[in-house]
């Protein structure tokens, strides 16, 4: 009887193991890497394009710490909750196209095989036309993959549509921003990066009619001025925004609620409903502001110089002398209180039910950052505060 060599036995056993476990797993992995569901264009879909009157581009950042617990100790992830809301309004808009980009954490299959970390949905007139996974840019924090998908699918005649851009995520810093994406901690993402990427969605030099910035501390002068190059009207929260998400029910049936194309009036109704929902749910301060960008320009230009000086000063601070900062209403700093401060700003505000600011009954709509060691200096965080909204 010939006894096989032990190495031969190992190879045979490995082959059996691979065929019984590894090969089926590999097949599952390869199938999971497919581009996803795609519906071929039909005559009916081509006819539907002419009915499309509204275009919504939505980016949901999910590559961060978005886990939270409700009052019953049930776990939720805020980005998934936002995705469910956006999908719901996509299905209830018979005259709108909605392009959804969900940026997800990096994951591996069987510990070794990287999986695509973005998911794209394209709805037109209430129907799902395409759903596919894609690779986010792992080298730079840009929207090139998202813009490529946008260019593939969006309805061409954008100039005749009411256009909306929505961003859901943590606070976006005004500079720096390393660590915004947990999967790629070396990448930086800040307001300037977002503005630069928006060019890909507005390549014809037009602006979005409405931008909804669903993040904490989105109502600073620098943020509104920077993003105002790409949007006529901006809805944002100057202060902390509970879970970083607005209620989106106002976006259902745009063919009814925005039929007259009065975007400013619609934005105010959206802000009011979002405010009402937040005040019924939380005890912390609530602020939702509507910025008519063109009307705010005079004020923004007036404070631009001093604001930029303080930002530059903060960038040059050494770790030893790094300032201690806290958010504040810009109206609390005399140098920023001007007669035109409220021009173009509608603010819905309720103070916290507790704490030292519970008796603060008004807000200018502009949020600043004060160095409490040097009263009167406006500063902005260099890094995103990922848990301040939870």
Give the tens place of pLDDT for each residue, 194-219.
Answer: 999 999 998 766 899 999 999 999 99
Nearest to 334 by CA among 358, 309, 368, 362: 368
- Does residue 16 belong to any structural domain of this protein? no
- Does residue 25 belong to any structural domain of this protein? no
User: What's the total number of domains in the chain?
Assistant: 1
Separation of alpha carbons 124 and 130, rounded Å: 9
The segments of the chain whose pLDDT lies below 70 read: 1-48, 69-71, 108-112, 139-141, 204-205, 243-244, 316-324, 373-390
pLDDT at 36: 54
- Does residue 320 belong to any structural domain of this protein? no
Residue 9, both tokens: 């036995």
The overall average pLDDT reported for the chain is: 82
Q: H-helix or E-strand containing 210? A: strand 208-214
- Does residue 383 belong to any structural domain of this protein? no
pLDDT at 320: 56
pLDDT at 18: 43
- Does residue 98 belong to any structural domain of this protein? yes
Give the domain range for residue 289.
42-308+342-366
- Does residue 384 belong to any structural domain of this protein? no
Separation of alpha carbons 274 and 286, rounded Å: 10
Cβ 245 vs Cβ 286: under 8 Å: no
As beta bridge partners, residue 214 has: 168
- Does residue 7 belong to any structural domain of this protein? no
- Does residue 51 belong to any structural domain of this protein? yes
Nearest to 95 by CA among 206, 247, 255, 218: 255
Count of other CB atoms within 10 angstroms of residue 14: 11
Q: H-helix or E-strand containing 272? A: helix 263-281
Separation of alpha carbons 57 and 208, rounded Å: 10
In tens, the pLDDT along 333-345 reads 888 999 999 999 9
């Amino acid at each position: 009887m010939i006894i096989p060599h032990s190495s031969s036995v190992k190879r045979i056993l490995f082959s059996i193991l691979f065929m019984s476990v590894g090969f089926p797993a590999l097949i599952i992995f390869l199938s999971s890497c497919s581009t996803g569901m795609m519906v071929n264009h039909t005559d009916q879909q081509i006819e539907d394009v002419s009915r499309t009157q509204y275009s919504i581009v939505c980016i949901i950042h999910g590559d961060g710490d978005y886990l939270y617990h409700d009052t019953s100790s049930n776990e939720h992830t805020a980005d998934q909750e936002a995705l469910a809301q956006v999908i719901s309004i996509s299905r209830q808009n018979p005259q709108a196209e909605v392009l959804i980009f969900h940026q997800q954490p990096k994951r591996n299959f069987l510990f070794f095989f990287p999986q695509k970390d973005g998911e794209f949905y394209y709805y037109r007139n209430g129907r799902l036309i395409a759903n596919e996974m894609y690779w986010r840019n792992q080298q730079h924090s840009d929207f090139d993959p998202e813009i490529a998908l946008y260019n593939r699918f969006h309805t061409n005649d954008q100039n005749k549509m009411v256009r909306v851009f929505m961003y859901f995520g943590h606070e976006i810093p005004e500079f720096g921003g390393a660590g915004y994406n947990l999967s790629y901690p070396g990448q930086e993402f800040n307001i300037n990066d977002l503005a630069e990427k928006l060019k890909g969605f507005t390549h014809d030099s037009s602006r979005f009619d409405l931008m909804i910035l669903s993040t904490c501390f989105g109502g600073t002068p620098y943020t509104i001025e920077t993003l105002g190059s790409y949007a006529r009207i901006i809805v944002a929260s100057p202060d902390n925004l509970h879970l970083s998400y607005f209620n989106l029910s106002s976006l259902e049936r745009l063919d009814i609620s925005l039929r007259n194309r009065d975007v400013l009036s619609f934005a105010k109704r959206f802000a009011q409903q979002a405010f009402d929902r937040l005040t019924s749910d939380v005890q912390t301060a609530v602020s939702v502001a509507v910025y008519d960008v063109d009307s705010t320009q005079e004020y923004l230009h007036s404070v631009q110089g001093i604001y930029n000086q303080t930002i530059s000063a903060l960038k040059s601070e050494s770790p030893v002398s790094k300032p201690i900062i806290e958010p504040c209403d810009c109206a609390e700093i005399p140098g920023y209180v001007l007669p035109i401060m409220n021009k173009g700003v509608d603010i819905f505000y309720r103070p916290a039910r507790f704490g030292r600011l519970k008796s603060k009954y008004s807000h200018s709509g502009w949020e600043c950052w004060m160095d409490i060691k040097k009263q009167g200096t406006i500063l902005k965080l260099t890094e995103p505060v990922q848990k301040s909204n939870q």
